[in-house]
């Protein structure tokens, strides 16, 4: 993992992978940008069409590739562009969160938020808050079994 | 007389069930023996490691290796058999995905040794002696293989040519694999020698699966009388058939038990557990947080449920280890 080891005397900067839905939260992040709101620069946003599109494999893959936290943003319940995609995301989220905790990944590293297209300010609050919480937890530093030879990378 | 192709069987961290699968070939084992020379099979034949070491490299056509890799000895044998074999086949869930022994990746190696050698009340071990790799006793130098930090799949240790899934693979799957290897028409390297589609496709209850699966609660087999005709998912049972490769001919379903996922994922899935979790959680009808959490509470052990056979092969490989544990242990 490049640039991941905290350098002495410098603050640990968490890396957060954010999956935002095309119709609400991504637009909210756009709004935050056009409104020139300042917030922590630690997230890498990936746009997906719907929070229901987020396969739990995406979340695990993000952690496996060095994310210190994963944030999912979707439309408020009842507002899903595809009617019920966000409910599917919600159900998976609860089970995946519990499984991640069993795997030693703290609760605050995985978060789901409903943010509508009008809530640019909420993007700022949520990201700032999550960055601080993950910073307090420190690097994820997965010490999972390192294979001697890796099987060929399979794209998720 | 033309020499017959040579075949070897070996076991690493496994229970012996995969060896049973070979024995379960029953009379068909005679056909196998007629077609090949079995040159190494510790569970049944008296060949030793030095016999394998004496063979020229690549002289074995195929080695069927079952079991995960947990010790330095297993690792050495994997390397040795890899060198001596043209084809190395990961046989069964443990070699392919880590299997049941792979669940040990939820614990630290030292804690496992302690649980086995110090904690059981039937063990008398007041000094807390754990297995050592070297030890001298009465002038004799003794050696034991080292217990690795993690359970690894076979392909995390050496390159693997083919996989035969299952816990254990059915005799039919083994016979099919032997036939493919002897035919000379080999599938692409890295193939799993089983159909590349989900178990639901060959499930005898397929027709009873409703178009939209929607349930309000998960049930465990001991809690309900399972209807023998209806799709198990429709009955609220945690059947992993939708995220598991077929090939077993739905043995568990035929026995009226849900699929637990032993045949691993299809080629389109990287992480079987994540996929199974996704499929089952999405089936819930509830929309309220509290209802969802209540329904999901019926899955007390998500890791053990969804990664029963595949934790070492999963994206996270196991539990995130406590990086301070060793420091603490050294301090105490």
Contact B320 A104 (CB under 8 A): yes
Query: B49 and B154 share a domain?
Result: yes
User: How many of the other CB atoms lie within 10 Å of CB of B256?
Assistant: 13
Residue A47 has pLDDT above 90, yes or no: yes
In terms of residue numbers, what domain contains B60? 6-101+149-183
Which chain B residues are within 8 Å of A141, Cβ to Cβ? 320, 323
Question: Do the domain assignments include residue B278?
Answer: yes
Which chain B residues are within 8 Å of A56, Cβ to Cβ? 271, 274-275, 277-278
Give per-residue pLDDT as tens, A111-124.
999 999 999 999 99
Last residue of a domain, one of B183, B209, B242: B183
Which chain A residues are within 8 Å of B323, Cβ to Cβ? 141, 143
Question: Do the domain assignments include residue B320?
Answer: no
What is the distance in angstroms between the Cα of A127 and the nearest Cα belonging to chain B? 22
What is the per-residue DSSP string for B16-50? SHHHHHHHTTTTHHHHHHHH-EEEE-TTTS---HH
Question: Do the domain assignments include residue B192?
Answer: no
Query: B160 and B86 share a domain?
Result: yes
Contact A63 B319 (CB under 8 A): no
pLDDT confidence band for B47 (50 / 70 / 90): very high
Query: B41 and B159 share a domain?
Result: yes
Query: B157 and B255 share a domain?
Result: no
Nearest residue in B to A78, CA atom: B287
Query: B235 and B89 share a domain?
Result: no
Q: Which residues contact B255 (CB under 8 A, 6 or more apart)?
A: none
pTM of the model: 0.91
pLDDT confidence band for A152 (50 / 70 / 90): very low
- On whether the CB atoms of residues A31 and A118 are closer than 8 A, the answer is yes
pLDDT confidence band for B142 (50 / 70 / 90): very high
Touching check for A155 and chain B: CB below 8 Å? Answer: yes
Query: B179 and B228 share a domain?
Result: no
Query: B141 and B229 share a domain?
Result: no
Mean pLDDT taken over chain A? 89
Residue B209 has pLDDT above 60, yes or no: yes
The pLDDT of residue A133 is 98
Give per-residue pLDDT as tens, A72-111.
999 999 999 999 999 999 999 999 999 999 999 999 999 9
Query: B26 and B78 share a domain?
Result: yes
What is the distance in angstroms between the Cα of B115 and the nearest Cα belonging to chain A? 19
Question: Do the domain assignments include residue B38?
Answer: yes
Query: B138 and B165 share a domain?
Result: no
pLDDT confidence band for B143 (50 / 70 / 90): very high
Residue A32 has pLDDT above 80, yes or no: yes
The pLDDT of residue A142 is 81
pLDDT confidence band for B32 (50 / 70 / 90): confident
Touching check for B162 and chain A: CB below 8 Å? Answer: no
Give per-residue pLDDT as tens, B66-83.
999 999 999 999 999 999
Contact B274 A149 (CB under 8 A): no
Cα separation, B205 vs B51, in Å, equals 49
Contact B282 A63 (CB under 8 A): no
Q: What percent of chain B has pLDDT over 90?
A: 86
Question: Do the domain assignments include residue B306?
Answer: no
Give per-residue pLDDT as tens, B254-309.
999 999 999 999 999 999 999 999 999 999 999 999 999 999 999 999 999 999 99
Average pLDDT over residues B30-51: 91
Nearest residue in A to B278, CA atom: A92
Contact B275 A55 (CB under 8 A): yes
Cα separation, A11 vs B171, in Å, equals 58
Contact A57 B274 (CB under 8 A): yes
Q: Which residues contact B254 (CB under 8 A, 6 or more apart)?
A: B204
Touching check for B152 and chain A: CB below 8 Å? Answer: yes
Q: Provide the number of CB pairs (under 8 Å) joining chain A to chain B.
A: 128
Cα separation, B295 vs B219, in Å, equals 9
Residue A10 has pLDDT above 90, yes or no: no
Touching check for A107 and chain B: CB below 8 Å? Answer: no
Residue A149 has pLDDT above 50, yes or no: no
Give per-residue pLDDT as tens, B107-120.
999 999 999 999 99
Cα separation, A131 vs B214, in Å, equals 37
Contact B274 A96 (CB under 8 A): yes
Half-sphere exposure in the Cβ direction for B206 (13 Å, CA): 10
Q: Closest by alpha carbon to B310, among B155, B102, B161? A: B102
Query: B160 and B213 share a domain?
Result: no
Average pLDDT over residues B98-106: 96
Number of domains in chain B: 3
The partner residue sitting opposite A60, judged by closest CB among B106, B271, B296, is B271
**Residue A17 φ then ψ, to 5°:** -90, 125
Residue A147 has pLDDT above 80, yes or no: no
Bridge-based pairing of strands B134-137 and B140-143 is antiparallel
Touching check for A70 and chain B: CB below 8 Å? Answer: no
What is the distance in angstroms between the Cα of B267 and the nearest Cα belonging to chain A? 9
Q: From its phi and psi, is residue B289 left (phi > 0), alpha (psi between -120 and 50) or beta?
A: alpha
The partner residue sitting opposite B299, judged by closest CB among A87, A95, A148, is A95
Interface test with B, best of A90, A145, A154 (most B CBs within 10 A): A145
Mean pLDDT taken over chain B? 93
The pLDDT of residue B66 is 97
Contact A147 B157 (CB under 8 A): yes
The pLDDT of residue B332 is 47
Question: Do the domain assignments include residue B251?
Answer: yes
ipTM: 0.92
Query: B96 and B153 share a domain?
Result: yes
The partner residue sitting opposite A103, judged by closest CB among B269, B280, B319, is B319
Average pLDDT over residues A49-74: 96
Q: Give the CATH number of the domain where residue B168 resides.
A: 3.40.50.700
Which of B181-185, B223-227, B286-290 is predicted with the least confidence, judged by mean pLDDT? B181-185
The pLDDT of residue A106 is 96
The pLDDT of residue A141 is 83
Question: Do the domain assignments include residue B315?
Answer: no
Touching check for B270 and chain A: CB below 8 Å? Answer: yes
Query: B179 and B263 share a domain?
Result: no
Interface test with A, best of B71, B320, B323 (most A CBs within 10 A): B320
Fold of A16-137: Rossmann fold (3.40.50)
pLDDT confidence band for A4 (50 / 70 / 90): low
């Amino acid at each position: 993992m490049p640039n991941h080891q905290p350098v002495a005397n410098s603050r640990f900067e968490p890396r957060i992978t954010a999956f935002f839905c095309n119709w609400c939260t991504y637009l909210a992040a756009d709004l935050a940008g056009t409104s020139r709101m300042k917030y922590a620069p630690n997230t890498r946003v990936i746009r997906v069409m719907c929070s229901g599109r987020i396969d739990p494999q995406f979340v695990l893959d993000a952690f496996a590739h060095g994310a210190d936290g994963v944030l999912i943003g979707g439309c408020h319940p009842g507002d899903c562009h595809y009617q019920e995609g966000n409910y599917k995301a919600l159900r998976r989220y609860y089970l995946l969160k519990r499984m991640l905790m069993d795997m030693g990944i703290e609760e605050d590293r995985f978060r789901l938020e409903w943010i509508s297209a009008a809530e640019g300010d909420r993007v700022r609050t949520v990201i700032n808050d999550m960055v601080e919480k993950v910073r307090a937890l420190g690097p994820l530093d997965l010490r999972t079994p390192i294979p001697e030879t890796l099987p060929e990378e399979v794209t998720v | 007389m033309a020499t017959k192709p040579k075949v070897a069987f070996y076991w690493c961290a496994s229970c012996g069930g995969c060896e049973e699968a070979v024995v379960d070939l029953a009379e068909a084992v005679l056909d196998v023996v007629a077609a090949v020379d079995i040159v190494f099979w510790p569970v049944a034949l008296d060949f030793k490691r030095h016999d394998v070491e004496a063979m020229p490299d690549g002289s074995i056509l195929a080695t069927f290796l079952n079991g995960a890799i947990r010790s330095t000895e297993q690792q050495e044998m994997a390397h040795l058999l890899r060198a001596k074999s043209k084809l190395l086949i990961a046989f069964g869930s443990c070699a392919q995905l880590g299997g049941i022994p792979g669940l040990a990746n939820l614990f630290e190696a030292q804690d496992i040794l302690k649980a086995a050698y110090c904690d059981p009340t039937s063990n008398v071990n007041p000094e807390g002696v754990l297995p050592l790799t070297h030890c001298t006793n009465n002038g004799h130098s003794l050696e034991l293989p080292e217990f690795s930090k993690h359970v690894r799949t076979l392909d995390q240790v050496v390159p693997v040519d083919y996989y035969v899934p299952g816990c254990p693979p059915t005799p039919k799957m083994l016979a099919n694999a032997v036939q493919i290897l002897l035919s000379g028409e080999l599938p692409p390297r890295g193939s799993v020698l089983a159909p590349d589609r989900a178990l639901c496709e060959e499930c005898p209850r397929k027709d009873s699966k409703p178009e939209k699966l929607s349930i309000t609660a998960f049930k465990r087999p001991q809690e309900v009388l399972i209807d023998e005709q209806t799709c198990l998912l429709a009955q609220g049972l945690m059947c992993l058939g939708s995220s598991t490769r077929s090939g077993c001919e739905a043995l568990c379903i035929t026995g009226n038990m849900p699929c637990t996922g032993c045949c691993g994922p299809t080629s389109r899935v990287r992480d079987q557990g994540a996929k199974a979790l996704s499929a089952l959680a999405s089936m819930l009808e509830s929309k309220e947080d509290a209802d969802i959490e209540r329904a999901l509470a019926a899955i007390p052990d998500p890791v053990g449920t969804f990664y029963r056979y595949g934790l070492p092969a999963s994206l996270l490989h196991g539990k995130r280890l406590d990086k301070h544990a060793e420091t603490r242990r050294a301090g105490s």
